[in-house]
A and B are shown apart, each in its own frame.
Chain A
């Protein structure tokens, strides 16, 4: 017996908004990135569950999830590179230090 789809949906929604909360709240740049990862994972769960439970014969959701994992990895790498650069220039790892575009 399969888990009803609304459970997966609720789970992914919760995870998503926990990630959002983390992104908005945290000051450390890397912590913000980690929160983004949570968001992305929530989305992946959503795709996979919907594909498996609502559209059994088709595979779009599966491949979407696959590619999403790949893209997340790439994006993390680039973001880390940027953070390294920021650290070098501003000597700080908080998001307040990169607010030179203020006003």
Chain B
């Protein structure tokens, strides 16, 4: 099967970026939007064709083969080359579908949302750039190419967050996002370099060649030096460093501080980048390097697990106290990504020398990937819905919303579906993936399992707090008299409908398939070993999680549904400081500010700057001053007096003679 057309998946967005970037200002808004959306629609079609071809192709030994249609050496450096290429593999094909679908929805949505904005063409150009970068990231054949596109994604994110550049807050937020992720990427790069230096390759070929399910050591122990170095702590160190880079991009604690501020960007951007695609890059990276984690660093997986658990809890706690819709959704994203990380982290086989991926590994990996897929869909739907609401009410604050269900029925319905999905109610896609995660956690350790269940409950609680706060609750009557909120135009509601249909569709099918043991489920396509993995639900856990989710929803309904919220107010009066701390995100930003300003700037940067300005510059200034002074002091020699010259001339001659005689 010829996959040569996959190169267009990367080329088309690049082309549209160039066209829109260079010639965009000469086009009308509509034309630029059409070019951007059109190219992405083509990409979506190509992605679906690729997926169809890939997943219907024959498996070899029950495993989907890794296909590499293109791999060229871009920068040959002796033994170690930088390659660029395209790699097709179950998770990359799945990511293709996710990215292209959500991106297409965002493109269509932006027609309505960004209508009349200045810089419309620039926006679509950057969206194309982002799509290209993200697609390149998931199709990377080696870790260095992934890093390259990783940075490109970071740049696109910076450009898009700072889209409303006249606003000071947007500029600050874009800088913060870029700097924090760049800081994390420093560790990523160090990890890559250690890895490349000692194993003499950047490729994931360990992932490709290692056919999981059979214990094989992936590289040649003939070179004793390499084997020695690698068998030590080097590969785990490299992997953990790479994870830190991924943690920065995926907003794990404590590098999550950029994501809530990144909500200053336009809402479709938040939907695309900061909910569905870019922030899952870290999860994707771990999934991609998964065989190496299992082979070399199984103990270090616990770092991933516990960071994930803590982040999930922290984000959920903070989300309960936020009043800005987008901030709530941002923290919810952080929390859900932490779920995915935990899912990958708990996928440990038993600690043996040979790599045998048993059910544990299959489940966690598959669950994490499945949750990535479903989360992308419903979170994008939530964000786009939030965009519709913001568009209607012209504000982000929950206090100005309330009772909007009368005015915006479609948004209401899709938002409710997505909230149900994220809460983990059966027959919605979130249930399937989240349930699997919790099952895997219980298999790893009961503590982690109960913690994740509790966090799932909190998730349900704050999401429904949000839902009731927007669509039910107290209506802001005066504002609505002046300006009645209306339903969004169809360009904005169609993506919502599409995404919620996907959510419901996948949900119904997966739930039934899980309970009735049908095939063709997600695990059929994507799993750790590439083989078919049929999902069976553990009834105990499924039931427990469902009941807990329903209880949380009822609690939220009880507290927040009515016109007044007496219980909420009483709780607020009781624990004002706790609420304030949660509202201020537990002072994480302040801590980081303190560290950078007081410690790094004052103790490290300022002395270095002083040194640079006074000593290094001083040396050169002194050299220049010295030369000048020497020149000035020689000036009186030019006395214009012929006799003086004669004296010097003769003195010189006499001296020379004396010297020559002496010698």
What chain B residues lie within 8 Å of A24 (beta carbons)?
643, 646-647, 650
What chain B residues lie within 8 Å of A103 (beta carbons)?
635-636, 638-640
Interchain CB contact under 8 A, A95 and B641:
yes
What chain A residues lie within 8 Å of B646 (beta carbons)?
20, 23-24
What chain A residues lie within 8 Å of B638 (beta carbons)?
101-103
Using a CB-CB cutoff of 8 Å, which residues 605-647 of chain B contact chain A? 635-636, 638-643, 646-647
What chain B residues lie within 8 Å of A96 (beta carbons)?
641
Interface mask (A69-103 → B, CB under 8 Å = 1, otherwise 0): 00000000000000000000000000110111111
Give the Cβ gap from B650 to chain A, nearest Cβ, in Å: 6
A96 and chain B: residue at smallest CB distance: B641
Give the Cβ gap from B648 to chain A, nearest Cβ, in Å: 10
A38 within 8 A of B: no
A18 and B544 CA atoms in complex are apart in Å by 123
A15 within 8 A of B: no
Contact among A20, A99, A100 with B650 in the assembled complex (CB-CB below 8 Å): A20
Give the Cβ gap from A35 to chain B, nearest Cβ, in Å: 10
What chain B residues lie within 8 Å of A20 (beta carbons)?
646, 650
Give the Cβ gap from A98 to chain B, nearest Cβ, in Å: 7
Contact among A23, A25, A26, A100 with B640 in the assembled complex (CB-CB below 8 Å): A100
A32 within 8 A of B: yes
A69 and B640 CA atoms in complex are apart in Å by 30
Interchain CB contact under 8 A, A95 and B643:
yes
A102 and B640 CA atoms in complex are apart in Å by 4
Chain B interface main SS type: helix
Q: Total contacts A to B, CB within 8 angstroms?
A: 33
Give the Cβ gap from A25 to chain B, nearest Cβ, in Å: 8
A102 and chain B: residue at smallest CB distance: B640
B643 and chain A: residue at smallest CB distance: A24
Known: A20-B650, A24-B647. A95 touches B635 (CB 8 A): no
Give the Cβ gap from B234 to chain A, nearest Cβ, in Å: 69
Give the Cβ gap from B482 to chain A, nearest Cβ, in Å: 82
Using a CB-CB cutoff of 8 Å, which residues 29-70 of chain A contact chain B? 32
Chain A interface main SS type: helix
What chain A residues lie within 8 Å of B640 (beta carbons)?
98-103
Give the Cβ gap from B642 to chain A, nearest Cβ, in Å: 6
What chain B residues lie within 8 Å of A98 (beta carbons)?
640, 642
B638 and chain A: residue at smallest CB distance: A103
What chain A residues lie within 8 Å of B643 (beta carbons)?
23-26, 32, 95
Interface range, B side: 10 to 19
Interchain CB contact under 8 A, B647 and A99:
no
Known: A103-B635, A103-B636. A32 touches B650 (CB 8 A): no
A101 and B641 CA atoms in complex are apart in Å by 9
A100 and B647 CA atoms in complex are apart in Å by 19
Interface mask (B480-507 → A, CB under 8 Å = 1, otherwise 0): 0000000000000000000000000000
Using a CB-CB cutoff of 8 Å, which residues 308-347 of chain B contact chain A? none
Give the Cβ gap from B254 to chain A, nearest Cβ, in Å: 67
A60 and B329 CA atoms in complex are apart in Å by 109
Give the Cβ gap from B630 to chain A, nearest Cβ, in Å: 15
Interchain CB contact under 8 A, A99 and B641:
yes
What chain B residues lie within 8 Å of A102 (beta carbons)?
638-641
A99 and B638 CA atoms in complex are apart in Å by 9
What chain A residues lie within 8 Å of B639 (beta carbons)?
99, 102-103
A96 and B646 CA atoms in complex are apart in Å by 14
B647 and chain A: residue at smallest CB distance: A24
A26 and B639 CA atoms in complex are apart in Å by 16
Give the Cβ gap from B391 to chain A, nearest Cβ, in Å: 77
A83 and B270 CA atoms in complex are apart in Å by 90
A36 and chain B: residue at smallest CB distance: B646
B642 and chain A: residue at smallest CB distance: A95
Give the Cβ gap from B62 to chain A, nearest Cβ, in Å: 95
A98 and B645 CA atoms in complex are apart in Å by 13
Interchain CB contact under 8 A, A32 and B642:
yes
B641 and chain A: residue at smallest CB distance: A99
What chain A residues lie within 8 Å of B647 (beta carbons)?
24
What chain A residues lie within 8 Å of B636 (beta carbons)?
103
Give the Cβ gap from B558 to chain A, nearest Cβ, in Å: 96
A23 and B635 CA atoms in complex are apart in Å by 23
A50 and B233 CA atoms in complex are apart in Å by 92
Give the Cβ gap from A89 to chain B, nearest Cβ, in Å: 15
B635 and chain A: residue at smallest CB distance: A103
A32 and B640 CA atoms in complex are apart in Å by 16
A101 and B275 CA atoms in complex are apart in Å by 78
A100 and B646 CA atoms in complex are apart in Å by 17
A45 and B81 CA atoms in complex are apart in Å by 84
A101 and chain B: residue at smallest CB distance: B640
Give the Cβ gap from B71 to chain A, nearest Cβ, in Å: 72
A100 and B639 CA atoms in complex are apart in Å by 9
What chain B residues lie within 8 Å of A101 (beta carbons)?
638, 640
What chain A residues lie within 8 Å of B641 (beta carbons)?
95-96, 99, 102
What chain B residues lie within 8 Å of A95 (beta carbons)?
641-643
A20 and B642 CA atoms in complex are apart in Å by 13
A96 and B650 CA atoms in complex are apart in Å by 20
What chain B residues lie within 8 Å of A99 (beta carbons)?
639-641
A95 and B640 CA atoms in complex are apart in Å by 9
A26 and B640 CA atoms in complex are apart in Å by 15
A102 and B643 CA atoms in complex are apart in Å by 13
Using a CB-CB cutoff of 8 Å, which residues 332-388 of chain B contact chain A? none
Interface mask (B645-659 → A, CB under 8 Å = 1, otherwise 0): 011001000000000
What chain A residues lie within 8 Å of B635 (beta carbons)?
103
A20 and B645 CA atoms in complex are apart in Å by 12
A74 and B541 CA atoms in complex are apart in Å by 122
By Cβ-Cβ distance, the 6 closest A-B pairs, closest first, are A99-B640, A102-B640, A101-B640, A24-B643, A103-B635, A24-B647
Given contacts A24-B650, A26-B643, A95-B643, 12 further A-B contacts (CB under 8 A): A20-B646, A23-B646, A24-B643, A25-B643, A95-B642, A96-B641, A98-B642, A99-B641, A103-B635, A103-B638, A103-B639, A103-B640
Query: Can you list 20 A-B contacts (CB < 8 A)?
Result: A23-B646, A24-B647, A24-B650, A26-B643, A32-B642, A32-B643, A95-B642, A98-B640, A98-B642, A99-B639, A99-B640, A100-B640, A101-B638, A101-B640, A102-B638, A102-B639, A102-B640, A102-B641, A103-B635, A103-B640
